[in-house]
Structure 1
Amino acid sequence: MIKKKGFSLIVVLVFMLVLSACSSEEPASGEKEKKDGKLSGTLTVWVHPYVASDLKDKQSAVFEKMAADFNKEHPDVKVKFEEIPWANREQKILTALAADQGPDVFYLIPDMMGQFAEKGVLTPLTDLLGDFDKEDFPESSLEAVTYKEELYGLPILHEVIANVYNTKILEEIGGSKDKLPTTWKEYEALAEKAVEKGYFARSYEGGNTLNATLYPLIWQAGGDIIDKDGKVVINSEKSVKAFETLNEWYKNGWIPKDSINTIDHFASFLEGKIFSTGATGLTLSTLKNREFTDYVLGPPLKGEKQLTFGTTGMFVVPSNSKNKEAAAQLIKYMTNTENSTAFNELTKYIPPRESASSLYDNDPEMKLMTDWVKYTKPGVIHPVARDILPKVQAEVQAMMEGKKSPKEAADAAANAIQTEIDKQ
C-alpha cells in the first residue's frame, strides 16, 4: 500500500505533467500518430497475471490474438503487451506516468477510476471510441466505467462474489443442496446449527479488501458507504446494522478468532472447519483443480437488498499517451465479443457483453454466476475510494477487538472518509 505523502506527491507530479502537456505548443497526439491518414506507431499495454503461472502461455496467446485482430485493420501499429504484478500496481502506474514512461493502455477497476480520472490521469474515451456496440453492454457495466458522465474505459470482465457451502456440514445440520439460503434469516438459521456442531459459520478475512468483507454486508443491509450525491453514509442506521451483525458474529464465535486481520480462510474451508465462504469463478476453478467436491454454490444473500461485490475490469488510456486514438481503437478490439469470450473462458471471469453471455451455457455453476451479475456493485466510485480502505478497516478492527462499539466504529469511519473528501 502506497504511503499517503508519497502517493500525493506522485499524483501532483502526474497532474502537473498533464497540464504541461495540454499547454505545450507541440502538435496534438492525433497528428503524430497518423501516417497517410492511417494509425501508426507503437502501443504499450500493461496487463496483470490474471491466471495461475501454469496458464501463463495461454494468457499470452489470448493477448497476442487481440493484437493480431487489431493489426488486420491497423497494420502500421505495433502492439506490445507487458505484464506487471498486482502488488503495488497503483504506485507503479502513477510513478511511470509521472516520468512519462507509462503504457498507452492499462487495466483498471472502478474504485481506482474515480481517483485517476479526477486527477486528470485518464483520457476520456467518449469521443475517441466512436461506435463501439454500446447496446451490447448492460447498463451496469457502462456505469462501472463512467465517471462524471464521461466514459473512461471499456469492460473486459465481471466478477461475482457468491457463496459456497460445505455439503457434508450442510447435510449434518439438516440442510439441503436443493434449498440453499437466499436471505440473512435463512442463512443464520443454518449457521447457528453449524456453530452448535462445533464448526465456524463462515469465513471473514478481515485483512482482505473491504470490497470482499464489510461492504457487501453494508449493501445487503440497505446501506452504503458514499451515496451517489457524494454524502458519507457509512454511519447511517442501515449501514451500522452491518457493523452490528459482523460484531455479533465475531463475539458469538461464528467466524474464526483471527478474522480481525487474516487474509486467508480458504484452507480452513477445505479442511471442513468452516460451513461457508465467499466464492468467485476462480474459487470454483480452484476447488475443481484440487478435486474438492464437497461443496455447493449458493447465491448472494439478501438482507434488505440482495447485493454483493463484483468488480468490473476495464482497459483505459492514460492522458499522457502519445497515441490516444490508436489506443482507444485497440481497446475496442481487446473487448469485442470474440476476444472477451476467449479472455473470460481462460480466466473464469464473466464477459460483460450480452453477445458473450452464452459462454457458460454448458457450465451450470458459472451460468449461475453469470445470472447473478445483476446483484453486483463494483465498489465505491469516488476519488477517495482507495484512500479510505485502510482507515475504515482500522475502525472495523478496533470494533472487533472490543475497543469501540459498532456505532462508534461507523462514526469514526465516517469522519475518516469525510476528512479524505475535504482534502480533495
Structure 2
Amino acid sequence: MGFKKIGLLFMVLILTFTMAACSEDSESTGGKVDKNSSATLTVWVHPFVGEDLKDKQKEVFDNMAASFKKEYPNVKVKFEEIPWANREQKLLTALAADQGPDVFYLIPDIMAQFADQGVLTPITDLLGDDWDKSDFEESSIESVTYKNEMYGLPILREVQTYIYNTKILKEIGGDPNNLPETWEEFDELAQKAKDKGYFGRSFEGGATANATLYPLVWQSGGDVISKDGKVLINNKDGLEAFERIQKWYKEDMIPKDSINTIDHFTPFVEGKIMAVWGAGLTVSSLKEKGFKDYVIGPPLKQEKMATFGTTGMFVVPSNSKHKELAAQLVAEMTSKESSEAFNSLTKFIPARKSATAIYDGDKDMAKMTEYVQYASPGVIHPVARVVMPTIQAELQAMMEGSKSPKEAADAVAKAIKDEMGK
C-alpha cells in the first residue's frame, strides 16, 4: 500500500474517531474501573521470537491474561498475532473499519505518526493521576511520550551494537578485551580484517535507517530532526555519516550486497565478516546455532557514543469501546512480573528498573543492558516512518555511485521538509 493510500486511511480514521466521540460517552474515568465490568479485549501482538519459541510466547501472553482476569473476572482477553510486515497498513485499515484491536504494539517513530493523527488515546488520562511510573526508566518514558502526552506503557528496550568474531580478531591482531570505541579505531581494525580477506562489518542496506544511517549521524554529534522541528540531517555532522558509509563501501569494508540486503547474519556465522550489527536477539540466535566465538563491543563514537535501540510499547486506540479497561490491561502487560517473563524469553531489556535483574547471571545481556544508556529509540516525529524508503533509496544511490554523499544527504533533507509541509 502506498503512502497516499495511508494518508487517505488517516483521513478516514479522523472522521471515524470524531463521530465515535460524538456518539459515545468517551470521558475518562480517571483510572477508576468497575472490577465487575464485562467485555472482550482484543490485543494484537507480533512474532517476537522464532517458530521454535512460539508456544512459549503464547504462554507468556496467556499468563498476562490470566493475571488480569484475577482483577477483572468478567473480561475476556484475546491475543491475535499479526506479522511484522506491513503492520502499519494493517492496523490503519482495521482501525478505519472499526475492526481493530483494543490494545496493540508500537515503537516510538510509528507512535508519533499515529498520535499526531488522533489514532491513539493518551494512556495517562485512562490510568489516573495516582498511577506510579517511577519504576520505569526515564528514557523509556520519554520514548513513549509525544507532545507532553504518554501514549503507551513500555514493555521492552533494545540496544544495537557490534558483535565481533573472536577468531577473526585474534587472527588480525585484535584484542577481544580491548575493542574499538571510535570510528578511527574500528576502521583500523576493519582494514586489517580486509587485508586478511574478511569484511569489516555487516551493513544491511535493506533495513531501516534506524539500523544503518542514524547511529552514525548521532555518533558524529548530529541529528536528523531537532526537537524544535529543524531538519539537520544534511549539515556537517550528518554529511559525515553519509561519507563514512560511502568509504566503507568503496574500500570493501562492507559486502557488495550491502546496498539492499537484509541478511548479513548468515555470512557472519560463516566466518566472512569481522563484526555483525546486532542486538540481544542476535546473541540468542548465535547461541542457538552453537556459535561461541563472539564478543560484544561498545557502540562507537566520533563526537559521542550513541546507537539505536527501540522502545516497544503497548497502546490503546482512540476508537476502542473499552479504553479504560484496555489501559488497565496494558498496565498488567507491562507489570514487573510480565516484563520479566516477556524479556527473559525475547532477550530484550526490560523498561522497568525492578525487572532488569533477570540478566544478573547473563554476561552477554548484562553487557547489552550496560550499553542501553547510549541508545536512542529513533526519530520521534510524524514523518519519521514516511521518509524511510527515501533514505534507503538515497543511500543505495550513493553506494552505487550515482550520487555523492552531499547529494544524497540534501535529497533526504528535502524529502523530510516536503513531508513536513504536507
> Quick check: TM above 0.5?
yes
Alignment partner, residue 362 of structure 1: 361
Q: Is the 8 A contact 2:157 2:350 kept in 1?
A: yes
The reply on whether 1:188 has 2:187 as its aligned counterpart is yes
Give the 3-state SS of the residue equivalent to 1:65 in structure 2.
helix
Distance in 1 between the 2:64 and 2:79 partners?
10
Q: 1:45 is matched by which residue type in structure 2?
A: V
Q: Is the 8 A contact 2:36 2:73 kept in 1?
A: no
Q: 2:41 is matched by which residue type in structure 1?
A: L
Give the 3-state SS of the residue equivalent to 1:262 in structure 2.
coil
Aligned partner of 1:43 among 41, 44, 55: 41
Distance in 2 between the 1:99 and 1:382 partners?
25
Aligned partner of 1:103 among 98, 101, 104: 101
Q: Is the 8 A contact 2:310 2:377 kept in 1?
A: yes
Give the 3-state SS of the residue equivalent to 2:8 in structure 1.
helix
Q: Which runs of 5+ in 1 are unaligned?
A: none
Q: Is the 8 A contact 1:29 1:322 kept in 2?
A: no
Q: Is the 8 A contact 1:159 1:310 kept in 2?
A: yes
Distance in 2 between the 1:368 and 1:215 partners?
22
Structure 1 residues 68 and 197, CA gap change in structure 2 (3 angstroms): same
Alignment partner, residue 178 of structure 1: 177
Alignment partner, residue 206 of structure 1: 205
Give the 3-state SS of the residue equivalent to 1:134 in structure 2.
coil
Q: Is the 8 A contact 1:164 1:279 kept in 2?
A: yes
The reply on whether 1:56 has 2:68 as its aligned counterpart is no
Q: 1:53 is matched by which residue type in structure 2?
A: E
Q: TM-score, normalised by structure 2?
A: 0.97
How far did residue 266 of structure 1 move? 1.1
Q: Is the 8 A contact 1:132 1:332 kept in 2?
A: no
- Deviation digits for residues 32-90 of structure 1, max 9, x if unmatched? x9997743211111111111112111111111111111111111211111111111111
Structure 1 residues 124 and 253, CA gap change in structure 2 (3 angstroms): same
Alignment partner, residue 299 of structure 1: 298
Q: Is the 8 A contact 2:44 2:101 kept in 1?
A: yes
Q: 1:279 is matched by which residue type in structure 2?
A: G
Q: 1:70 is matched by which residue type in structure 2?
A: F
C-alpha RMSD of matched pairs (Å): 1.5
Give the 3-state SS of the residue equivalent to 2:232 in structure 1.
coil
Structure 1 residues 125 and 136, CA gap change in structure 2 (3 angstroms): same
Structure 1 residues 126 and 195, CA gap change in structure 2 (3 angstroms): same
Q: 1:141 is matched by which residue type in structure 2?
A: S
Give the 3-state SS of the residue equivalent to 1:70 in structure 2.
helix
Q: 2:137 is matched by which residue type in structure 1?
A: P
Q: Is the 8 A contact 1:29 1:323 kept in 2?
A: no
Q: 2:98 is matched by which residue type in structure 1?
A: D
Distance in 2 between the 1:160 and 1:64 partners?
27
Q: 1:149 is matched by which residue type in structure 2?
A: N
How far did residue 165 of structure 1 move? 0.8
Structure 1 residues 198 and 42, CA gap change in structure 2 (3 angstroms): same
Give the 3-state SS of the residue equivalent to 1:420 in structure 2.
helix
Q: Which runs of 5+ in 2 are unaligned?
A: none
Q: Is the 8 A contact 1:240 1:407 kept in 2?
A: yes
The reply on whether 1:381 has 2:356 as its aligned counterpart is no
How far did residue 314 of structure 1 move? 0.2
Bigger Cα displacement from structure 2, 114-123 vs 261-270: 261-270
Distance in 1 between the 2:325 and 2:127 partners?
10
The reply on whether 1:88 has 2:82 as its aligned counterpart is no
How far did residue 113 of structure 1 move? 0.5
Q: Is the 8 A contact 2:162 2:296 kept in 1?
A: yes
Q: Is the 8 A contact 1:30 1:323 kept in 2?
A: no
Q: How many residues align?
A: 420
Aligned partner of 1:75 among 68, 73, 76: 73
How far did residue 348 of structure 1 move? 0.7
Distance in 2 between the 1:28 and 1:280 partners?
41
How far did residue 195 of structure 1 move? 1.1
How far did residue 133 of structure 1 move? 2.9
Structure 1 residues 61 and 183, CA gap change in structure 2 (3 angstroms): same
Q: Is the 8 A contact 1:310 1:378 kept in 2?
A: yes
Distance in 1 between the 2:21 and 2:156 partners?
32
Q: How does 1:264-283 map to 2 (within 5 A)?
A: 264-283=263-282
Distance in 1 between the 2:239 and 2:67 partners?
50
Bigger Cα displacement from structure 2, 8-17 vs 318-327: 8-17
Give the 3-state SS of the residue equivalent to 1:210 in structure 2.
coil
Give the 3-state SS of the residue equivalent to 2:318 in structure 1.
coil
Distance in 2 between the 1:287 and 1:103 partners?
35
Distance in 2 between the 1:54 and 1:386 partners?
31
User: What is the identity percentage for the equivalent residue pairs of Structure 1 and Structure 2?
Assistant: 64
Distance in 1 between the 2:75 and 2:32 partners?
10
Distance in 2 between the 1:122 and 1:28 partners?
13
Alignment partner, residue 15 of structure 2: 16
- Deviation digits for residues 333-391 of structure 1, max 9, x if unmatched? 10000110000001111101000111100000000101111010001100011100001
Q: Is the 8 A contact 1:220 1:302 kept in 2?
A: yes
